[in-house]
Structure 1
Amino acid sequence: MRLRFHHLLLIPVLGVCLSAAAAPLDEPLKPLPAVPQQDAQRVALGRQLFNETRLSVNGSLSCASCHHLTRGGADNKAFSIGFTGLPVAVNTPSVLNASLNFRQFWNGRADSLEAQIDEVVQSPSEMGSNWQHVVQTLSADAAYRTSFANAYPDGVTRDNVQNALASYERTLISANSRFDQYLLGDTQILSREEKYGYQRFKEYGCIACHQGVNIGGNMYQKFGVLGDYFQVRGNPVEADLGRYLVTGDEEDRNVFKVPSLRNVAITAPYFHDGSAATLEEAVDVMFKFQLGRIPSAEDKNLIIKFLKTLTGEWEGKAL
């Protein structure tokens, strides 16, 4: 199959080639949207709450403890550490671009950011708190009382804490990756090998699941379509059941939300079980158990080069 790449239209004028205005490419993947317009006071309050350790029952954890915004929105652990000092059951997904996912958590049990926040705060393995305690704690702080009163008519409530946090999280868009710039028409920003990698990504079928604006996060898929991943890995645990834990439907056994690939090069380790320490290992697992194919070393290398173009920016700096 011949590879076709888009190039800027060159218009000769008096012997000089001038680039026409770049037009967005007609590709199945789309660039990230702009940050949505929201109430600035609620976003500012949400940012403060995101870094507030008093959301956890013993004041040991904030959202930022496990979601490091300058390192891809996750942490570098296979399993984050909860308020008890023990690891949680699944790998921490990135909070960057999470608002673009169709469901939250690996098994998709939350249908909104607010529902995800509600569960994490009360989780016996994560923050271990309850909303009565959180509301009482924040209400006892004069600065929070003022901030909430300015942002919400009814002040400090469970719903308002969740809304403020969700409002802030909707601003966590890692824009301006080189691949997004490419999609927007700057076809020279990717190298020839990176463009070949994108073509291989499509040809091998990776795009069948890693699709949409978030390059994932918009569908469920069984982990081990063309091979029993869990038998090969061994030591099965309850979390491996995936969406089955939510629905009890046998067809949902070992089914998970397909993760976004944005910023994937900096969010190791990978998968719900944190079992792949490197991007190369993760690609090998995907080829073996999801695609049932063995790529050439060259094709694997090209795809990895492409995946590295998906790293965006946070607060104007490259991640």
Structure 2
Amino acid sequence: MKYLAFGKRFSKTYFLLVTIVVAFLIVLSWPRFQKTTLNDSTEKEIPQEIVLTVNGPIQPIPEVMPLASEKVALGNKLFHEPKLSGNNQISCATCHNLSKGGVDWRKLSVGMNGTVTQFNTPTVFNSGFNFKQNWTGKANTLEQQIETSISNPRSMGSSWKDVLQKLKNEPEYVNLFRQIYSQEISKENVEDAIATFERSLFTANSRFDKFLKGDSAAITEKEKEGYRIFNEYGCVSCHQGVNVGGNLFQKFGIIGDPLANKPTPITEADLGRFIITGKEEDRHVFKVPSLRNITLTPPYFHDGSAKTLDKAIDIMAEYQLGRKLSKNETELIVKFLRTLEGEYQGNPL
């Protein structure tokens, strides 16, 4: 019995020692397991700096999107088709100019018969990653956004009855829709084609995306410092995810009222999401814009009131974060934001 008791005590002691040794070895070897796959055949150990970034709040844009190429081509044609407007002069591309970062560089866009729109035009690039569309989130999907733009008297000022009739009078469109959708032209498949094209307007492979994937040399030390400030000061609390924004609503003016010193009268557009919901808590609330390619899409904010990116950053810091940035801090954040300029179809925007 003594031998049995001794054997049990020895077994417990041995098991405890083995457990401690194994745990110690795991701790020592753990850094070697912190790797990322850079491609199908190459693995590279990530420096601690990059480990923190890869697991951070911003994710890279996918380099490939599973979209039907024939729908993308048809949607591209419709996107540039002026017959979708009431006067046959305005297309989606009029305000969402792909050669200008997906916008028109105007404070407010000009629609039907010279009518000025309520809001500054947001970029169409990467719009497929937004959780809702428009500054107020009026449209839940790209398809809904297309529907409202067609009928909006400030934008395209048409009706689906007229649009469909115009397209049905074009043999080329009739044949394309029959080939792709196996049916006649309808509101639903027009929206589907344009929305599919818009989802193809993603801008992958920015320098910051390369940095996120493990290339520490893709951005400079000053750009890294800009990103550090962007994180440390709290910008990233609203501008995160794949689209570096576009995935939540936020009040414009958490710390103070940026509209108080507006040089022009307050408009309905300044009410933000309140226009849609009528709820007091939604007054001056807007969808947080994406910062992808933001350096290419001036002017800024829902009313286009900030002519430069530097000005927009300073206003955001003061009224959203309660901070007064130095000139150097603003410049560093701008440098970081330039790393978000991506590629469309393999070419820089």
**TM-score in terms of structure 2 length:** 0.84
Q: Which residue of 2 aligns with 1:276?
A: 306
Note if 1:94 corresponds to 2:123: yes
What is the CA RMSD across the aligned residues, in angstroms? 1.5
Correspondence 1:60-75 to 2 at 5 A:
60-75=89-104
Note if 1:152 corresponds to 2:154: no
CA drift at 1:296: 2.3
Gaps of 5+ in 1: 1-8, 10-18
Seen in structure 2, the aligned counterparts of structure 1 residues 94 and 22 have a Cα distance that, compared at 3 Å, is farther
Give the 4+ runs in structure 1 shifted more than 4 A: none
Q: Which residue of 2 aligns with 1:286?
A: 316
Count of residue pairs brought into register by the alignment: 302
Aligned partner (choices 173, 180, 188) of residue 217 of structure 2: 188
Once residues 252 and 275 of structure 1 are traced to their aligned partners in structure 2, the CA distance between those partners, rounded to angstroms, is 21
Q: Which residue of 2 aligns with 1:40?
A: 69
Once residues 193 and 91 of structure 2 are traced to their aligned partners in structure 1, the CA distance between those partners, rounded to angstroms, is 15
CA contact (8 A) 1:54 1:62 kept: yes
CA contact (8 A) 1:269 1:276 kept: yes
Correspondence 1:162-311 to 2 at 5 A:
162-234=191-263, 235-311=265-341
Note if 1:21 corresponds to 2:44: yes
Gaps of 5+ in 2: 1-33, 35-41
Larger radius of gyration: 2
CA contact (8 A) 1:22 1:184 kept: no
Seen in structure 2, the aligned counterparts of structure 1 residues 20 and 192 have a Cα distance that, compared at 3 Å, is farther
Q: Deviations over 1:177-226 (max 9, x none)?
A: 11011101111011100001101000000000001110000000000110
Seen in structure 2, the aligned counterparts of structure 1 residues 142 and 224 have a Cα distance that, compared at 3 Å, is same
CA drift at 1:259: 0.2
Q: What is the aligned-residue identity percentage? A: 47
Q: Which is richer in helix?
A: 2
Give secondary structure in 2 for the equivalent of 1:60. coil
Q: Which residue of 2 aligns with 1:78?
A: 107
CA drift at 1:20: 6.3
CA contact (8 A) 1:22 1:186 kept: no
CA contact (8 A) 1:41 1:150 kept: no
CA drift at 1:298: 2.0
Once residues 283 and 296 of structure 2 are traced to their aligned partners in structure 1, the CA distance between those partners, rounded to angstroms, is 29
CA contact (8 A) 1:110 1:116 kept: yes
CA drift at 1:70: 2.4
**Higher RCO (CA-CA < 8 Å; seq separation 6+):** 1
Once residues 280 and 333 of structure 2 are traced to their aligned partners in structure 1, the CA distance between those partners, rounded to angstroms, is 34
Aligned partner (choices 121, 137, 140) of residue 111 of structure 1: 140
**TM-score in terms of structure 1 length:** 0.92
Q: Deviations over 1:105-134 (max 9, x none)?
A: 000011000000000000010000000100
Q: Which residue of 1 aligns with 2:4?
A: none
